[in-house]
Chain A
Amino acid sequence: MVAKAKKVAKKLIEENIYVKVINLRFVKPIDENKIIQYLKESKLCITMEDGTIIGGIGTSIKELIVENNIKDIKIKSFAYPDKFIEHGSIGELEKKYKMDVESIYKHVKNTN
């Protein structure tokens, strides 16, 4: 996911959108202080994870935002939806579920 995030970031930076990529090595415990600091400095937070949307890191970050009363930030989580995901090549499935670089890039661009 970090590799993918970096690709998205590169495309955005080329369009003068400032992006920082955080590599969340620890899913648990997450580095709360660091993340809160970054959240306070940002307008938009994108979470990306190779897992289901429920109870993943996206959820953890949303909890941090609410519990720490962080204002003026939008958040969008990219993860697989709450359903059993069928078979297909990884590339095809990523595209279908908008987990590919292009889909994520487009979302950020349109939000900005």
Chain B
Amino acid sequence: MEILDTVNSPKDLKKLNKYEKIKLAEELRKLIIDTVSNTGGHLASNLGVVELTIALHSIFNAPKDKIVWDVGHQTYVHKILTGRKERINTLRTFEGLAGFPKSSESEYDSFNTGHSSTSISAALGMARARDIKKEKNYVIAVIGDGALTGGMALEALNDAGNSKTNLIVILNDNEMSIAKNVGGISNFLTRVRTRKLYNKSNKYVKRAVLRIPKVGSRIIKLVRKVKYGIKQLIIPNMLFEDLGFKYLGPVDGNNIEDVEAILRKAKDLEGPILIHVLTKKGKGYKIAEENPDKFHSTSAFEIETGKAKKAKKDDYSKVFGKKLVELAKKDEKIVAITAAMRDGTGLTEFAKTFPDRFFDAGIAEQHALTMAAGMAKEGLKPVISIYSSFYQRGYDQVIHDICMQNLPVVMCVDRAGIVGNDGETHQGLLDMAFLKLVPNITIMAPKDFIELEQMLEFAVNLGKPVVIRYPRGRRITRKI
């Protein structure tokens, strides 16, 4: 008898002992790997949050307590535990379960997400609504460290930290967004992670110096002084504490007991709380642990080998990347920019060939677009590639920073048009309508790969704002 058979809602989860929960985690991993190997989807992130999800639903009482999942692609475990395990095999398929939280699908999905960095804002809004309605429930935002590189998450931290509102933010820290994280916040979190190591070495130092007679105690004092100094440097719960959050952690997010203990502690505290949880993306499936970015979002694959069931063909993104490398070899003013989508947008080869002319801005479309504008103003030829649905996040930057100054930024709109299984949050159906009405803009749409190459060459030399929109590579040939 499988433990999972007895779990039909979070209520059943609360009856399990710790050994049963560990067994349940194993069963969930197997189910997720089986499912995603058939349907495709987000694998690594879901494997990472199995224990965290079990702990959340054990300690809190959803749907009364509201859990807001940032990005939302890590909710497969949540879906299975909240009464949808029978339908999990329909994940991401037509008329089946969505790959993201949907209030229309279940009352346990408290807020729809799909794009990054929205959860803290949504959760703060729900917490303030609760206070005004004089209700009593917990509101929890679960956000990855990648999503924390998005400006909106920082805006929300700033506002929430300044409030007295009861709100729990769980920072699910796996050192990854889709690819390895970039930037100062990521470096900051790396320093927080070293806290454990620091504690260990600290004990070791103490033990060592105690063995030295006489001078021992003085050295200990010195070490303590140094330790205090170092503490400011390397135990930096300070960022969050300075923002007004109570900081708890870091805790091993793949240990159910530890996570449950820290969640219980958080329940007793007032005001905004941040819990720092360390998880491992791809946990429990070796091939995904070793290649978390490849298994961030995957098509159907063979479990044994991790290889895709259908061989990948050339697509627009690859053709774009290749052509851009060719153009950049002849023109040193060309630079390439991505918002945490190096591989997805086809820029991997460019990044390798021109590391000094490649910029990954993080999950930060607004910043990436305005940075491109700055580069263009100073005479460079920035080429930026962002998925259609994510241009929605940088609209004013396109209008106010790029087009109003008529700056020569080449804006590639990848994944334009219908994208399929990722559904409504990721469909690229609005870009033509909202970009067309911006003055100074030129918009092109290639019919095949050759036309894309020609358009790209034309665009980098056009000298004003220009958009090239193209879909996910599907049933496209080199020449139509």
Interface positions of A (Cβ within 8 A of B)? 1-3, 6, 23-29, 49-52, 54-57, 60, 80, 84-90, 92-94, 96, 99
Would you give the shortest CB distance from B431 to chain A, in whole angstroms?
7
Contact of B418 with A93 in the complex, beta carbons under 8 Å? yes
Contact of A54 with B433 in the complex, beta carbons under 8 Å? yes
Would you give the shortest CB distance from A93 to chain B, in whole angstroms?
5
Given the known inter-chain contacts A2-B480, A50-B471, A89-B94, please indicate yes or no for A25 contacting B420, CB distance below 8 A.
no
Shortest Cβ distance from B98 into A: residue: A87
Interface positions of B (Cβ within 8 A of A)? 92-96, 98-99, 416-424, 427-437, 441-448, 451, 455, 469, 471-472, 474-477, 480
Given the known inter-chain contacts A6-B480, A55-B432, A86-B424, please indicate yes or no for A92 contacting B94, CB distance below 8 A.
yes
Interface centre among A23, A27, A51 (most CB of B within 10 A): A51
Given the known inter-chain contacts A25-B447, A55-B433, please indicate yes or no for A87 contacting B442, CB distance below 8 A.
no
Would you give the shortest CB distance from B442 to chain A, in whole angstroms?
6
Contact of B94 with A28 in the complex, beta carbons under 8 Å? no
Q: Is the interface of A mostly helix, strand, loop or mixed?
A: mixed
Residue from B96, B423, B435, B480 in contact with A3 in the complex, judged by beta carbons closer than 8 Å: B480
Contact of B94 with A93 in the complex, beta carbons under 8 Å? yes
In the bound complex, residues from chain B placing their C-beta under 8 Å from that of A27 are 432, 436, 443-445, 469
Contact of A51 with B437 in the complex, beta carbons under 8 Å? no
Would you give the shortest CB distance from B367 to chain A, in whole angstroms?
26
Contact of B443 with A26 in the complex, beta carbons under 8 Å? yes
Interface centre among A2, A57, A87, A89 (most CB of B within 10 A): A87
Contact of A3 with B429 in the complex, beta carbons under 8 Å? no
Contact of A51 with B430 in the complex, beta carbons under 8 Å? yes
Contact of A51 with B417 in the complex, beta carbons under 8 Å? yes
Given the known inter-chain contacts A51-B432, A89-B93, please indicate yes or no for A25 contacting B418, CB distance below 8 A.
no
Contact of B443 with A87 in the complex, beta carbons under 8 Å? no
CA distance A2 to B475 in the complex (A): 12
Shortest Cβ distance from B434 into A: residue: A55
In the bound complex, residues from chain B placing their C-beta under 8 Å from that of A24 are 445
In the bound complex, residues from chain A placing their C-beta under 8 Å from that of B418 are 50, 80, 85, 90, 93-94, 99
Would you give the shortest CB distance from A86 to chain B, in whole angstroms?
6
Question: Which A-B residue pairs are the 5 nearest by beta carbons?
Answer: A87-B423, A50-B417, A88-B94, A55-B433, A2-B447
Shortest Cβ distance from A87 into B: residue: B423
In the bound complex, residues from chain B placing their C-beta under 8 Å from that of A6 are 480
Contact of B432 with A84 in the complex, beta carbons under 8 Å? no
Shortest Cβ distance from A23 into B: residue: B447
Shortest Cβ distance from B420 into A: residue: A90
CA distance A60 to B435 in the complex (A): 13
Contact of A85 with B445 in the complex, beta carbons under 8 Å? no
In the bound complex, residues from chain A placing their C-beta under 8 Å from that of B471 are 50
Residue from B420, B427, B451, B455 in contact with A84 in the complex, judged by beta carbons closer than 8 Å: B427
In the bound complex, residues from chain B placing their C-beta under 8 Å from that of A52 are 429-430, 432-433
CA distance A88 to B96 in the complex (A): 8
CA distance A99 to B436 in the complex (A): 22
CA distance A54 to B475 in the complex (A): 26
Residue from A51, A57, A90 in contact with B474 in the complex, judged by beta carbons closer than 8 Å: A90
Given the known inter-chain contacts A25-B455, A51-B417, A55-B433, please indicate yes or no for A88 contacting B93, CB distance below 8 A.
yes
Shortest Cβ distance from B475 into A: residue: A3
Would you give the shortest CB distance from A84 to chain B, in whole angstroms?
4
Contact of B432 with A87 in the complex, beta carbons under 8 Å? no
Shortest Cβ distance from A85 into B: residue: B427
Would you give the shortest CB distance from A10 to chain B, in whole angstroms?
12
> Can you list 17 A-B pairs with a CB-CB distance of less than 8 A?
A25-B446, A26-B443, A28-B436, A50-B416, A50-B417, A52-B430, A57-B432, A80-B418, A80-B429, A85-B418, A86-B98, A86-B424, A87-B92, A87-B424, A88-B423, A92-B94, A94-B418
Would you give the shortest CB distance from B398 to chain A, in whole angstroms?
13
Contact of B432 with A93 in the complex, beta carbons under 8 Å? no
Would you give the shortest CB distance from A9 to chain B, in whole angstroms?
12
Contact of B432 with A56 in the complex, beta carbons under 8 Å? yes
Shortest Cβ distance from B421 into A: residue: A87
Shortest Cβ distance from A2 into B: residue: B447
CA distance A2 to B431 in the complex (A): 19
Would you give the shortest CB distance from A80 to chain B, in whole angstroms?
5
Would you give the shortest CB distance from A59 to chain B, in whole angstroms?
8
Would you give the shortest CB distance from B164 to chain A, in whole angstroms?
36
In the bound complex, residues from chain A placing their C-beta under 8 Å from that of B422 are 87
Shortest Cβ distance from A4 into B: residue: B475
Would you give the shortest CB distance from A78 to chain B, in whole angstroms?
12
In the bound complex, residues from chain B placing their C-beta under 8 Å from that of A3 are 447-448, 475-477, 480
Would you give the shortest CB distance from B437 to chain A, in whole angstroms?
7
